[in-house]
Amino acid sequence: MTEPLHVAIVGSGPAGFYTADALLRSEEPRVEVDVIDRLPTPWGLVRLGVAPDHENIKAVSRAFEKTAARPGFRFFGNVEVGSTVSHDELAAAFDAVVYTVGAQTDRRLGIPGEDLPGSWPATAFVAWYNGHPDFQDLDFDLDTERVVVVGNGNVAIDCARMLALPAEELAPTDTTEEAAAAIASSPIREIVMLGRRGPAQAAFTPPELKELGELAGAEPVVDAADLRLDPASAAELEADRDRARRNYELLQEYAARPSEGKPRRIVLRFLVSPLALVGDGKVEAVEVVHNELVDDGGRIVARPTGETELIPAGLVLRSVGYRGVALPGVPFDETGTIPNTAGRVAGADRVYAAGWIKRGPSGVIGTNKKDAAETVECLLEDARAGALVAPAPRDLAELLDEKGADFVDYEGWQAIDAAERAAGELHGRPRVKLHRWQALLETGRRIPR
């Protein structure tokens, strides 16, 4: 067994940092980690996915900072596996490689009109308002009175809530100035969320649903008729002590609430699926079909009734889940994950996976801690068995320098972080994000050695 073990972790979101932390805590063998990210900044969805008005959730980054301060940790931002450096080069240079790249794209609806202007994946909208440098030139036209958000998960709720925030609620967040201005000045009156199944099957969680009832500039709207339960859903709720039941209680409360006349409404619809997005050159309406619920081998699924309806809308956000993207040279499954057993990648020695690319896009940030621990346990077991030895050990910094690759190291990220926080302080905001590649690279560039 070589000591210390050198492990490359590709992806610096929660799964990457939890993997790094678990590895750096190992005493036998001792481990050094190089965490690689395509972006110049670490933290993945904690920086670029978590909604800007959820500053308390972003606080998990303090734990990641502690991991980064451990001996044996290095960060390599602006390094893309597949272009800057190949999987084969990493696999040769390191004793083991762990992929924690998350799920980088959206699932498709597969309906006519899906690509009409005005129809966007929610993932792109989230990346835009969060300052992801690849999404800043997208032209989100919010000049509409009604937005439809397809899907009933927490990302759909995040999008609906963000669209409903007035200037005073956006001001103390790290939403980009462009997105905050566009949202606050938009004529949006109604945001309609479409759930294909019923209220008992909604994927969102009670704290997120509860927030919709506490907004300054918007109120939730639920039709009591939508809350009638079929016997199977009633039985499901009866058995549930947690998420579904609490969701249902909140929805009942919203259905009974008189309107307070707030400027924007968030309408929660159930048992409707989009059939097509329609419009002349851009989205003008969503054609939906009403569904009924049927038991399909123990799972309650939606079945179209044939009754349709047209919902006028100038913007549609498709929020039906994320999807993993294949990496050149790394095994990939049609389901959008890297095939693996407990984190050991199938058919690739010394290669591992953790987080969404390992198990699919589900769970909260903390779910990745247990997930990463399982992968690390397998990796360390293999190391102790003598199975992890790099065929051609190389120092990554040297390899990248040799390639002329301009990477951002952890000090570079700290410079970006400090600049953003200083800019935020002037405006009473947690940070003003650098959201253009040039600004990020200029601020994070290494001092020439």
Neighbours of 19 (CB within 10 A): 32
Question: Which string of DSSP letters, residue by residue, matches 288-304?
Answer: EEEEEEEEETTEEEEEE
Of the residues 6, 196, 265, 433, which one makes contact with ligand NAP according to CB under 6 A: 196
The one segment of 31-39, 333-341, 358-366, 387-395 that binds ligand NAP by CB under 6 A: 358-366
Of the residues 67, 78, 130, 201, which one makes contact with ligand NAP according to CB under 6 A: 201
Question: Which string of DSSP letters, residue by residue, matches 176-231?
Answer: -HHHHHHHHH----EEEEE-SS-GGG--S-HHHHHHHTT-SSEEEEE-GGGG---H
The answer for 305, left when phi > 0, alpha when psi is -120 to 50, beta otherwise, is: alpha
The one segment of 36-44, 71-79, 163-171, 355-363 that binds ligand NAP by CB under 6 A: 355-363
Of the residues 199, 361, 412, 444, which one makes contact with ligand NAP according to CB under 6 A: 361
User: Is 152 a binder of ligand NAP (CB under 6 A)?
Assistant: yes
Report the sign of the C-alpha dihedral through residues 333, 335, 336, 342, in that order: negative
Structure tokens at 336: 């959008």
Q: How far is the CB of 322 from ligand NAP (least distance, A)?
A: 5
Of the residues 11, 14, 42, 321, which one makes contact with ligand NAP according to CB under 6 A: 321
User: Is 121 a binder of ligand NAP (CB under 6 A)?
Assistant: no
Q: Please give the Cα distance from 359 to 101 (Å, whole number).
A: 12
Q: Please give the Cα distance from 154 to 448 (Å, whole number).
A: 44
Q: How far is the CB of 17 from ligand NAP (least distance, A)?
A: 17
> Total binding residues for ligand NAP by CB under 6 A?
23
Identify whether 29 is preceded by a cis peptide bond (ω within 30 of 0).
Answer: yes
Q: How far is the CB of 191 from ligand NAP (least distance, A)?
A: 15
CB closest to ligand NAP, residue no: 153
User: Is 320 a binder of ligand NAP (CB under 6 A)?
Assistant: yes
* DSSP bridge pairs for 285: 278, 312
- When the beta carbons of 75 and 270 are compared against ligand NAP, the nearer one is 270
Of the residues 67, 273, 291, 337, which one makes contact with ligand NAP according to CB under 6 A: 273
Q: Please give the Cα distance from 164 to 167 (Å, whole number).
A: 10
Binding site for ligand NAP (CB under 6 A): 109, 150-156, 158, 196-197, 201, 203, 208, 273, 319-322, 361-364
